[in-house]
C-alpha cells in the first residue's frame, strides 16, 4: 500500500524537503509541484533521486504542442517517473507529450478539472458548456485516446471514469482528506483515503494532512493503515 500514497512537497526550502524525507522514510512517491520547483528546480529532483524516491512532477504543462513536447523531454531527462499535462491543452498537445516518453517508463498523466473548481465556475468563468462530470469524462477520454497513461481527477469522479472508461489507466486523485483532518482548504470536491481507493483510485496525493500534522510520520502511517483496512 506504500505505493498508493504520493506525498506532496508543498514547501519552500530544501531543508523542509530533507526534513520531510527524514520524517517519512517509508514513503516511496513524492510530488514536486510549482511551488517547490519554481524555487529549487532540478535541485529538488536530484535530492529525491539520491534518496531513491519516485518523482511525480506536477507542473500541469499547457502550451503549444511542440513547447510541451520539449518540456516533457527535459523532465524525462531529469529522471522523473510521472508528470502532468493539462487536458485542456487538447489532443495534439497530449499526443506530443506522450511521444516524448516513448520507450521510457515515464508516465504522462492528464489533469481534467481542478479540484478547486465547481460546476458554476467552469461554465461561467471557463466557458465549458458541459456539466462538471461530463467535462471530466470527456477530457479524460480524449486524453487517454491521445496517449496519456493516466488521469488526475477529484475523488467524486473516480467511479464515473472507471464505469465509463474502464481500468486500463492510472487514476490519481488529490482532494483526499482523512476524517481526522477536517480542513479541506481550497478544495471543494473531497473524499477520505479509504473511500477513494474503494471507488477505484490507484494513487492518492496528500500533503497538508501529513505535513501539517504534529507527527507527520504517524499521520502517514495512519493513512496507510486506513487504506490497508479498507
**How do residues 50-65 score in pLDDT, each as one tens digit?**
999 999 999 999 999 9
CA 18 to chain centre: 21
CATH number of the domain to which 216 belongs:
3.20.20.70
Q: What pLDDT digit, counting tens, does each position of 149-184 carry?
A: 999 988 889 999 999 999 999 999 988 888 776 554
Catalytic residue among 31, 53, 60, 95: 60
Range of the structural domain that residue 31 is part of? 2-228
In angstroms, the CA 22 to CA 113 distance is: 33
Active site residue 49: no
Assigned C-alpha cell, 150? 493516466
- Count of the separate structural domains present in the chain: 1
pLDDT attached to residue 64: 98
- Picking from 129-138, 170-179, 186-195, which range would have the lowest pLDDT averaged per residue? 186-195
Phi, psi at 93, each rounded to 5°: -65, -45
Whether 229 shows a pLDDT value over 80: the answer reads no
Q: Please name the residues in contact with 223: beta carbons below 8 A apart, sequence gap of 6 or more.
A: 5, 178, 193, 206, 209, 210
Q: Are strands 82-86 and 107-111 parallel, antiparallel or unpaired?
A: parallel
Amino acid at each position: 500500500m506504500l505505493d498508493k500514497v504520493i506525498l506532496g512537497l508543498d514547501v519552500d526550502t530544501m531543508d523542509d524537503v530533507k526534513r520531510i524525507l527524514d520524517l517519512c522514510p517509508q514513503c516511496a512517491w513524492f510530488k514536486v509541484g510549482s511551488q517547490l520547483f519554481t524555487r529549487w528546480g532540478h535541485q529538488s529532483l536530484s535530492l529525491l533521486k539520491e534518496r531513491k524516491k519516485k518523482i511525480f512532477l506536477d507542473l500541469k504543462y499547457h502550451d503549444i504542442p511542440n513547447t510541451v513536447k520539449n518540456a516533457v523531454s527535459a523532465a524525462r531527462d531529469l529522471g522523473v517517473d510521472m508528470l502532468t499535462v493539462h487536458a485542456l491543452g487538447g489532443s495534439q498537445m497530449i499526443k506530443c507529450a506522450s511521444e516524448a516518453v516513448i520507450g521510457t517508463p515515464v508516465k504522462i498523466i492528464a489533469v481534467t478539472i481542478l479540484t478547486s473548481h465547481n460546476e458554476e465556475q467552469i461554465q461561467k468563468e471557463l466557458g465549458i458548456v458541459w456539466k462538471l462530470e461530463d467535462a471530466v469524462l470527456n477530457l479524460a477520454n480524449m486524453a487517454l485516446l491521445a496517449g496519456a497513461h493516466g488521469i488526475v481527477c477529484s475523488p467524486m469522479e473516480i467511479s464515473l471514469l472507471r464505469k465509463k472508461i474502464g481500468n486500463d489507466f492510472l487514476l490519481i486523485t488529490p482532494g483526499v482528506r482523512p476524517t481526522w483532518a477536517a480542513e479541506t482548504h481550497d478544495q471543494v470536491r473531497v473524499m477520505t483515503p479509504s473511500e477513494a481507493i474503494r471507488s477505484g483510485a490507484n494513487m492518492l496525493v496528500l500533503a497538508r494532512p501529513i505535513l501539517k500534522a504534529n507527527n507527520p510520520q504517524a499521520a502517514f502511517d495512519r493513512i496507510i493503515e486506513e487504506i490497508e483496512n479498507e
